[in-house]
Amino acid sequence: MGSDRSLDEFLGDDEGSPNPDDASDADATDEDEPTPATTIYNPDGGDCEACGATVTRRWRDGDALVCGECKGW
């Protein structure tokens, strides 16, 4: 019974995780704050495509990259 065995291995691996360092690892790779995929961080600054302001962090608004002011939360 191959399928039965693989299921057993899967469950055992899931429960027997020796070091659950997933959370701490993800934390360490981020510099200051988490950067969601919807934002672009550019240390040199980039132009907002709506108002032309130069900002380090821009958000995707459709095809454009806009500053936090123009994103309009």
Q: Minimum CB separation from Zn ion for residue 32, in Å? A: 22
Rule CB under 5 A: choose which of 48, 58, 59, 65 binds Zn ion.
48
Q: Report residue 32 as tokens.
A: 């200051």
Q: Does 70 bind Zn ion (CB under 5 A)?
A: yes
Q: Report residue 56 as tokens.
A: 């380090």
Q: Minimum CB separation from Zn ion for residue 53, in Å? A: 5
- Alpha carbon distance 11, 56 (integer Å): 44
Rule CB under 5 A: choose which of 51, 54, 56, 64 binds Zn ion.
51
- Alpha carbon distance 48, 39 (integer Å): 12
